Amino acid sequence: MEIKTSQDKGKVPVTVFKLKGNLTSEVELQEQAKAAYQAGTRHILLDLSDVPYTSSAGLRALHYMFSLFRTTSDETDQQMRSGITAGTYISPHLKLYKPNTHVTEVLKTAGYDMFLQIHTDYKKAIASF
C-alpha cells in the first residue's frame, strides 16, 4: 500500500492521506498517523478512492487512528459511547473519503459508519472539519 500525504484547509488545517492499494496491514498507516499526530496534525481525511480491499488489519489501523486523534477531544469515553449508541456521535478528527462499494460494506459491517463520516464529495469532506 502506498500513502501520499497532502494538506488542505477547511475551517481548520486538514491532512489528507491518499491511500493506494489494498489496506491489509496496519503498521504503515499507524506509523504515518502517529508521525502526523506528533507533528501537530489534529484532523485527517483518509482518501480511500484507490483502495480496492480492506482486511481486519485495515480496520484495526482505522480504529487506532480514531483513538489517537480522539485524545484531543474534551468528551469522556462514556459520552462518546453514549453518542455512538444514540447515533449522534461523529468523529470530528477523522473522516473518510470515497471508499468503493466493497470497502464501504466492510466499514458498515464493522459498525465504523456509526462514528466515521463517509464522504463522496471532496470539497464537502474538507469543509466538514
Number of domains comprising the chain: 1
Q: What is the pLDDT of residues 56-99, one digit of tens each?
A: 999 999 999 999 998 766 777 788 788 887 878 889 999 999 99
Residue-number span of the structural domain to which 102 is assigned: 2-127
For residue 31, give the DSSP letter: H
Q: What is the pLDDT of residues 73-83, one digit of tens each?
A: 677 778 878 88
Nearest alpha carbon to residue 17 among 27, 30, 25: 30
Q: What is the CATH number of the domain that holds 113?
A: 3.30.750.24
State the pLDDT at residue 77.
Answer: 78
Kindly tell me the burial class for residue 69, based on how many C-beta atoms sit within 10 Å of its own C-beta (0-12, 13-18, 19 or more). Answer: buried
Q: What is the pLDDT of residues 98-115, one digit of tens each?
A: 999 999 999 999 999 999
